[in-house]
Amino acid sequence: GAVVSQHPSWVICKSGTSVKIECRSLDFQATTMFWYRQFPKQSLMLMATSNEGSKATYEQGVEKDKFLINHASLTLSTLTVTSAHPEDSSFYICSAQNPGQVYNEQFFGPGTRLTVL
């Protein structure tokens, strides 16, 4: 149990286009999902916390108009990178929190590698 999927697993796009990444919790309902960004050989940096039915909470320095997050249902959150540029190329990872667990464990998706040409 507690499986989280991401789609697509990798995407290549041209500069100036928008890319949508989906994060789904497959066997539990996640009231909270998190989006992380990971640069090569570096740790994960939290971008935003996504709560079902409300606006996402963005970390300092993350542009909310560039990284649009929608958490429309208890099993799906989407991250849209708008007007992507080469510096947005990165590995984007989502996680979902199972509210049924006391210690707030998060389950991670496999990640999406975005390359902007």
Partner 1 sequence: GNSVTQMEGPVTLSEEAFLTINCTYTATGYPSLFWYVQYPGEGLQLLLKATKADDKGSNKGFEATYRKETTSFHLEKGSVQVSDSAVYFCALIPLPGTGRRALTFGSGTRLQVQP
Q: Which residues bind partner 1 (CB under 8 A)?
A: 6, 32, 34, 41-44, 46, 49, 93, 95, 97, 102-111
Question: Residue 33 Cβ, how far from partner 1 at the closest point, in Å?
Answer: 10
Residue 104, token pair as written in the block: 């707030």
Between 49 and 80, whose beta carbon lies closer to partner 1? 49
Could you tell me if 79 and 67 are in contact, meaning their C-beta atoms sit under 8 angstroms apart? Answer: yes
For the bound state, the minimum distance from the C-beta of residue 44 to partner 1, rounded and expressed in Å, comes to 5
CB of 83 to partner 1, least distance (A): 26
To partner 1, the closest distance from the beta carbon of 18 in angstroms equals 23
Contact 34, 94 (CB under 8 A): yes
Q: Given the complex with partner 1, which of 77 and 95 has the nearer CB atom?
A: 95
Q: Cα 54 from chain centroid?
A: 16
Residue 64 or 85: which CB sits closer to partner 1? 64
For partner 1, the closer CB: 14 or 61: 61
In the chain the beta strands, taken as DSSP E runs, fall at 4-7, 10-13, 19-25, 32-38, 44-51, 57-58, 67-73, 76-81, 90-97, 106-108, 112-116
